[in-house]
Amino acid sequence: MNVGVAHSEVNPNTRVMNSRGMWLTYALAVGMLHIVLLSIPFFSVPVAWTLTNVIHNLGMYVFLHAVKGTPFETPDQGKARLLTHWEQLDYGVQFTSSRKFFTISPIILYFLTSFYTKYDPTHFILNTASLLTVLIPKLPQLHGVRIFGINKY
């Protein structure tokens, strides 16, 4: 008897980003992070925007591209434990609405951050490096690729 595996999905981890209200919750969480950072008295507006962008991208990188496996028991004979959440998303199908949303959202945040920091060179370099760390792993050519063997096991 398998207790706790009464779900209809082969891997429920793949459908969580498509669930109702997930995109709104995501956007509200990023907005709340920014409001909290703006409320800290000794942070200027450009610093708060840069921190919002960097913290968002760091969290997105860890959650989507570094952590592998699934918290659910899956009947796929261990295939999901070798994949990151991004690789499991929509069963690996490229260019779905969820993948597009989670690719465009850091770009929009980057544009907002660049505008509100007035394209200051220091902030611009930090934000660009942060953006590249979350955009490069999302490329279809890097699906399942482990560069230099990082995160192989």
- Please tell me the pTM assigned to this model: 0.87
Q: How far apart are CA 9 and CA 53, in angstroms?
A: 34
Burial 124-147 (b: 16+ CB within 10 A, else e): bebbeebbebbeebbeeeeeeeee
DSSP-assigned letter for residue 84? B
Q: What is the pLDDT of residues 62-97, one digit of tens each?
A: 999 888 877 777 777 777 778 888 888 887 788 888
**pLDDT, tens digit, 9 for 90 and up, residues 114-146:** 999 999 999 999 999 999 999 999 988 887 777
Summarize pLDDT for 16-40 with one digit per residue, the tens. 788 889 999 999 999 999 999 999 9
Note the pLDDT of residue 43. 95
